[in-house]
Chain A
């Protein structure tokens, strides 16, 4: 056996690699004395020194009191802002800001002069890199979309304020650009494109002014980036009248999965919504909102996955669900920040205010670490986080000479969907417990599904907001792994039999009868008369595969918020204990299962009480149904 000293040496060498990197900047005093000594330029140069050791030395000038996203182990705190290190390119506004699967890509923009360079921030590596030079001329106000492989950029304004009629696609994996084919003779038709959407196979572009004359084929086009082929789609049915032309400020486009939504914003007249089916090439009748175009910015429009939100700042906005007749009026956000709206799971963020899509109520986000004005930054959402970069530091209504830059980028992590809004109460027993109100599915009295009296909750109080399932049956014969996650318009539930007997349909069937599903409540307590205590909820090991996997059938990002296990005591519980695995005391490890998730879709235009939960496999085959006799989530009190 090796001597102890040798063992210590070997162990120390190995354990060193497990020590997480921490940002130096937040520890560094770096305060005024150092700034005076070294000067701002030096600090800018030292702001993001990535060392070979893996330590990201973050020495930030004006922001050293804030956490800086740094090493790979850094995870921003919920409902909190973190700083991005300074990018390797100059600050700017009106740049393209796009989240790819792995990076935040920023390109172009204007900072006194028009710009044609860009950079990418790695979500995982927490590092900036400059991106390859673009074939495009310097410009600002271009549109950009992520296709899954490329960031496609089109249009914009550059060079003596001339409109650009070309585009290019950037492949971040190869760090390579390619030019896109020109529109050809229809070039004038794509005058001032501000609406862009990716359908999965085509880039749809639509302009601000509409079809300006009869010689132009359309104002809306589709480009297949792989073949380079363009096709003209029918022009938008709605175009501003001549008297409105003075106030046309932009169109915003969104892809719903089968339709293109085009929101036209014109000063002084109601905001309108047009819908195009690119397959049939037919526009639906224009839908008019009650939102005054004067009161809303084009970048305050966002598609959430199932509905369109038009976030008015100080006047009402609107929520529109395709297929419904009329948009719903939305309370003003009363945002001071007015960041471009982004959908983050079940919420929409405009920077300092959050819209809960379940309740359609606005609330405050954590205070933005404001270092001054930040007007018109670029924003993007990735895995439920908001990324903010660039913008102008010129205050509203001020006359600024030249470009006034802003501080570094920001990352905002919303409140955990499991945690909701916390409040403390005291239990009858005297123990203080923190309860949280789920952000979705407002708390309602639990539903009793059988006449048996409620029993005291024997389980440790796991995080609220969970979906809980209690099943009765021959659970000695079954073990299931359950997964549940919430995408933007789905409540997703996955069940995997991990042991023995029966097929998967049986497993779900066993759930279908005596199962109750609740969010944020203990609705299931009454299901079993005397449930045995479940064992082993003491684990604190991060669940190994608690990472977003393949997208849900709707193509949306999963937001895993709960996991669960069975034991042989007739209870199935899924939940999250502060983001940790809820149990380690499993009869057998449940790891690496190649499970086929079953998706329970919750149509958004219905209330939970009104639908049967249909479990489908990935091919759309029905695996089971939770009937209307099954107790359901509390009915939302808000209009959907």
Chain B
């Protein structure tokens, strides 16, 4: 398989994961930019990136560092996405979280990444990820008055 074929297959797989991952920290509008930046880096360093165990996690860090963090204010309301079962208050509650907590809970529960993958992406320990996620969920539940056992 040629380089470009490999890379195309990788982009197809990584793009949706990266786009979703960046939403929490960059917002909807900038998530595409961050994804493009990350994939651009991957193309430039394809020999290295392709050999990684968790290239998406690594590229997440690349995208984070290559795009300017802006105030995330453009997350659509759940109703606009046709999600009647999602609390309208979820978005402001998410945005209210500290960035580390928001990122951790988003990557774990929103993106389905493992704790280890998130730890690599955030450059923290696995246990730290667990702490961030736990605290984030507690805070969200409190804010939304959701019973975790429901």
Contacts and interface: CB of A to CB of B under 8 A. Distances in A.
Contacts of B81: 11, 14-15, 18
Interface string B88-117: 001100100000000001100111100000
Contacts of A24: 11, 36, 39-40, 43
B3 A30 contact: no
A57 B32 CA distance: 12
Q: Indicate the member of B2, B11, B22 with the most A CB atoms within 10 Å.
A: B11
B90 A11 contact: yes
A18 B3 CA distance: 30
A28 B20 contact: no
Given A4-B90, A8-B110, A51-B11, A19 B32 contact: yes
A621 interface: no
Contacts of A8: 90, 94, 105-106, 109-110, 140
Interface string B21-38: 011000011011101110
Interface residues of A, number: 43
Contacts of A46: 4, 7-8
What secondary structure prevails in chain A residues at the interface with B? loop
Given A24-B43, A46-B4, 10 more contacts: A5-B109, A7-B85, A12-B23, A18-B81, A19-B22, A27-B36, A28-B41, A30-B43, A49-B8, A55-B15
B148 to A, nearest CB: 6
Range for the number of chain B residues in contact with chain A: 35 or more
A38 interface: yes
Interface string A7-49: 1111111111011111111111110011000100010011001
B86 A2 contact: yes
A45 B3 CA distance: 11
A51 B15 contact: yes
A26 B75 CA distance: 25
Q: Indicate the member of A14, A21, A24, A28 with the most B CB atoms within 10 Å.
A: A24
A1 B148 CA distance: 9
A478 B95 CA distance: 42
Interface of B: 2-4, 7-8, 11-12, 15-16, 19-20, 22-23, 28-29, 31-33, 35-37, 39-41, 43-44, 66, 75-76, 78, 81-83, 85-87, 90-91, 94, 105-106, 109-112, 137, 140-141, 144, 146-148, 150
A52 interface: yes
Contact of A10 (B16, B31, B43, B83): B83
B146 A34 contact: no
A3 interface: yes
Given A3-B148, A19-B19, A29-B44, A14 B83 contact: yes
A20 B76 CA distance: 13
B109 A57 contact: no
Given A11-B83, A16-B16, A55-B11, A4 B44 contact: no
B75 to A, nearest CB: 7
A19 B35 contact: yes
Given A10-B83, A11-B81, A51-B8, A20 B29 contact: yes
Contacts of B39: 24, 27-28, 55, 57
A598 to B, nearest CB: 34
B2 to A, nearest CB: 8
A30 B7 CA distance: 14
A28 B42 CA distance: 8
Contacts of B147: 1
B33 A18 contact: no
A22 B137 contact: no
B130 to A, nearest CB: 14
A15 B76 contact: yes
B78 A11 contact: yes
A73 B36 CA distance: 14
B43 A28 contact: yes
A88 to B, nearest CB: 16
Contacts of B40: 24-25, 27-30
Nearest to A54: B15
A18 B28 contact: yes
Contacts of B90: 4, 7-8, 11
A14 B86 CA distance: 11
Contact of A16 (B20, B33, B82, B141): B20
A519 interface: no
B11 A3 contact: no
A432 B16 CA distance: 43
B4 A21 contact: no
A53 interface: yes
Contacts of B15: 51, 53, 55
A573 interface: no
Given A30-B43, A34-B44, A53-B15, A15 B20 contact: yes
A66 B43 CA distance: 18
Interface in A100-159: none
Contacts of B140: 4, 8
Q: Indicate the member of A10, A15, A28, A29 with the most B CB atoms within 10 Å.
A: A15
A262 interface: no
A319 interface: no
Q: Indicate the member of B33, B43, B91, B140 with the most A CB atoms within 10 Å.
A: B43
B16 A9 contact: no
Given A11-B78, A15-B23, A15-B28, A4 B137 contact: yes
A59 interface: yes
B95 to A, nearest CB: 12
Nearest to A53: B15
A9 B112 contact: yes
A467 to B, nearest CB: 31
Contacts of B44: 28-30, 33-34
B3 A10 contact: no
Across chains A and B, which 3 residue pairs bring their CB atoms closest together, nearest first? A12-B110, A28-B40, A27-B40
